Structure 1
């Protein structure tokens, strides 16, 4: 997440800017150029995952138009979806979208958005369970699984 935040992920647009002779189109949708914002927020693949995440949190669907809008969304104080839960989910989503991009690029295979969301769900449950004795994590499982 930190590398993504610093916009240092080796997206295809960045690789082209370094002189590599590769297509700059998104690995997951082949429609737009593969930038951080497109790949992690606006690509059809990632947008479907964000929609599933927001539905799970019982939040209104929100399309992130920029990295800043994601950061603002993570910090909003909503009782049934506190910032710590949205930060966990955001980190997991960014990681799993990047993982699927790399899997498709290097292995020629990728999971569906729904299967990727199930991996994110499992990771969130495991993260909360591992930290359940910490005060900030005590009520998160109920908020996530309801």
Structure 2
């Protein structure tokens, strides 16, 4: 073909046609015949331009967030998602709440179901099997901590009986500051109840419910103070301390 092996299409064509040598074999003749069927686009004197297109939408420039949204597996939004992942959530509190909501905490009954030869009794009360709902909701120890929260945020509430009821209570009144305060306080309680459970098992440290709630109170105050410039947190301290 008498064309450099690394030549571009632009070097093999001009405004008058293809710049290839005369055919010397049947293969070259066949190629020439084929090239005559290909219309040449007008050769531009300007440099080439490029755009980034993802899922049929051209952004003009590369967008990592847009590309990730297209590539990642997606499913319908879960009803509980906004109760766990929200602006201002503490990462370790939210992650622990997420694991608890999925009922994937390594409680004793769960560990026993994997074949571990361990006692399944609740480490906080020693009266019932340690399931998620018992440990975090129905245990007398946990009930006492929840009661301290209700006395501060919802005095008329008499207690919880299931995880579903807890999620329903978090939603409560549909005013943004109230929902935000319930979210952060519930996540703090779930975090500290699980931490206390581990302290009893691994460190033989047993704290009173009043001490655990003081730790929750400290965390909530710290969260509100750190995020007081945000709209949903501006009025939370007065609601928490009333």
TM superposition score normalised by structure 2: 0.58
The corresponding residue for 2:138 is 42
1:136 aligns with 2:232: yes
Q: How far 1:60 sits from its partner (Å)?
A: 1.8
Deviations 1:41-76 (A, max 9, x none): 110111000000110114323321111000000001
1:127 aligns with 2:223: yes
Deviations 1:70-110 (A, max 9, x none): 0000001176x811111111000000000000000001112
Which stretches in structure 1 are left out of the alignment for 5+ residues? Answer: none
1:97 aligns with 2:200: no
Structure 1 contact 42–63 (Cα < 8 Å) conserved: no
Q: Determine the C-alpha separation between the residues in 2 that align with 1:36 and 1:63.
A: 16
- Which contiguous aligned blocks of 4+ residues in structure 1 show a shift greater than 2 angstroms? none
- Three-state SS of the structure 2 residue aligned to 1:82 is helix
Structure 1 contact 29–44 (Cα < 8 Å) conserved: yes
Matches within 5 A, 1:13-24: 13-24=109-120
Matches within 5 A, 1:2-17: 2-17=98-113
Structure showing greater radius of gyration is 2
Larger RCO (CA within 8 A; separation ≥ 6): 1
Which stretches in structure 2 are left out of the alignment for 5+ residues? Answer: 1-96
Task: Check 1:78–1:63 CA distance in 2 against 1; reply closer, same or farther (3 A cut).
Answer: same
TM superposition score normalised by structure 1: 0.95
CA RMSD of aligned residues (A): 1.2
1:113 aligns with 2:209: yes
Q: Determine the C-alpha separation between the residues in 1 that align with 2:118 and 2:124.
A: 15
Structure 1 contact 40–94 (Cα < 8 Å) conserved: yes
The corresponding residue for 2:127 is 31
